[in-house]
Every structure is written in C-alpha cells, then in structure tokens.
Structure 1
C-alpha cells in the first residue's frame, strides 16, 4: 500500500480534490479534522496544551479556539510549541489509520503542512494562485478578514516549496480537476 500525501496552501482546493479521490474508493485521512478531534478528546494532548497555554485554553472541557488563536497569532514560538504537541499526535494517529487500510492500493493523507519523506511514499500538490485562493476563502469563510487570510497564507509554505517536494501537481485554477485526478490515480495504481 502506498501512503500518499496531498497538500497545498489554504484555499487551493485540497478538499475538493480529495472528494474526487474518495469517489474512486480511495480512503482519505483529513489531518486538520483529526487534529481537532485529538485536541478535544485526547487527554495527553489536552494536558500538554493546558501546560503550554494555561487553563483558559479549554472552557468547560471544550477547546477555546478564540483564546488559543489570540495567544499564538502573533507569537511564533507559542505556535511552534503548540504544533510540536499536536503534529506528533496526528502523525501517530495517521500511521495507525493507514495501517487499518492496508488492503487498499493507496491511501491519502490531506494536510497543509507536509515534508518530503514524512512517512509518505508520494506527494500530490494542489496548486492555485494566491488571488484565486484568497477569493475562495473570502467566499467560504465570511468571518475571516482579507488581512487574516493573507497572514495565514504568509505563514504557509511557498508554492516553490510544494513543487519541490511533490511527485504530482494538480492545477486548480480554471483547469478541469477530474481528468487530472484520474491521471494521478492511474499512475498511483501502477506504482
């Protein structure tokens, strides 16, 4: 079984591409969604976050997103420390999830943060220009400001980095996605 990462910047269309793969019967691990579950349910993760950010990081047992965002938004060392708690937990959870799908030719792990050789055999990059990504995010996330979205984009990996680490690139500008996904799917089935 191949372990395939699918990545790209915010608003690039990773989730849409993953849905196409899912219709082809490919299991997809959504790292951000699983991270949220681990942050809310895993007692070890919760304890480490409280040690890092204080008791206000959880209210009535629920992750206090506004508090945490405010705490880490302008403090890169706190953000790094938070990521050092969450990312290893997600990596371990993803590995176990993948082992549970070993009967499949390949599985996908969708994540915005990805590194070459990070327990993955291949990487797919979903590419879109900053202008298109910004427009998509403004349309879907009406509570976010343009400045907040640009700050998120600035903190993510560059398109050059994604291209360098990727084995496949799916262009999600005005290109048709299904033919591109089918082409990558066939290559992965024969790898």
Structure 2
C-alpha cells in the first residue's frame, strides 16, 4: 500500500457513550470524519445499484414516488425480524465500506476516522487498520439519551443497548479505549491516541 494512503481508523461506542463528541475533538485536530450512519442513509436514497437491490428484496414500497427512502416502512419490516435485519445490513454495509475507502483515498491526512454505531457488531472493524471504542457505564448512557431524546423511555433505551455488543467485548476488540464517563478527562485521552496514530503504520 502506498504511504500516501491514510490509515483507516474506526470509532464507535454504544448509544449514549459519546462517540460523536469524541469524533468532534479529533476533527478539531484536523482529522477528517466519515459518518457511516449518515452516509448509509444518503447511499440508500441516492446510490442506484443499492436502491435496486433494496427494491428487489423489500419491494417498491421501500421508496416513495419521488425516489426517497420510506424509512418507516423499512423500519417496521426490519426491527422485529432478525433475518430482515441481516439482509438489509448485508446490502448497505458493503456499499458504505466501498464508499468509505474511496472517500478515504482522497484525504491528505495521516489517518481518517470512520464513525459508526455498529462498527463491531457488523464486523466492519476487521477492514480497518485501528479501532477506537468510546465507553461509558450503562447508567450514564441511559441518562444521556433520556436528556437528549425525551420521548425515549428507559425500557426502550435498554432494548437498544441489549442489541449491541457489551462494552467489555468491544473493549477487547478495540485497539484503543476512551473512557467518557466524567471520571477522567477525555481530551488528554484523545491527544494520546492521536499522537500514537500519527506515528503508526498500516497493518500488514
């Protein structure tokens, strides 16, 4: 691989862990951020090959007449059916992966960050050079989500948490862990990881 190609670094964390806040700190250091979840929504609405496959598997009702994604329709199908969840993920995640690599190849930096909610759950962390997990206790995460998303109940938030891998497992899978529970300052942790990544080399 050419030395001009940036290191591919993933950053993730369970709901309420604060991965977006941490990503913003990296951004202030000049690191480009690829938001995989936002980009997935864009690709589902605008990437013709992906749209075609979604229609083939979920029907024409997956899109409105104006071509925009019918999120509610898809969510109702996918949410309660693990097989359908796997199917949509199998369509979307590869498209996001290719889009990310193309985007990353155009960035003039030592490394780039791919921010994704389900980085470890989907296995996409295996395609990256390094990964960062943002961790916080379940109690803190629940309070954060409730304060920013008042319509969600504690039960609903716990259901989302239960569908994600545990922090313990993600801590083991990640190359770096950032603790974001107010017990330790976040910025020094980011600066330390940033310094290490600036010196790191692409894995063989």
TM-score range, shorter chain: over 0.9
Is structure 2 residue 163 aligned with structure 1 residue 155?
yes
Among candidates 140, 148, 152, match of residue 144 of structure 1: 152
Residue 143 (structure 1) shift: 3.6
Q: Which runs of 5+ in 1 are unaligned?
A: none
In the alignment, the residues of structure 1 paired with residue 84 and residue 17 of structure 2 have an alpha-carbon distance, to the nearest angstrom, of 26
- Find the partner of 2:188 among 159, 179, 185: 179
Q: State whether residues 30 and 110 of structure 1, in contact with CA within 8 Å, keep that contact through their aligned partners in structure 2.
A: yes
* Equivalent residue, structure 2, for 1:44: 49
TM-score normalised according to structure 1 size: 0.93
With 60-69 and 138-147 compared, the bigger mean Cα shift is at 138-147
1: CA distance, partners of 2:75 / 2:154:
17
Q: Secondary structure at the match of 1:170?
A: strand
Q: How many residues align?
A: 190
Counterpart of 1:72 in structure 2 is: 78
* Residue ranges of structure 2 left out of the alignment (5+ in a row): 1-5
Shift of 1:128: 0.8
**Aligned match of 2:199:** 190
- Assess if the C-alpha contact under 8 Å between 2:125 and 2:131 holds in 1: no
RMSD over aligned Cα, in angstroms? 1.5
The 5 Å alignment of 1:66-105 reads: 66-101=72-107, 103-105=108-110
| Worse-superposed segment, 23-32 or 59-68 | 59-68
Higher mean Cα deviation, 107-116 or 14-23? 107-116
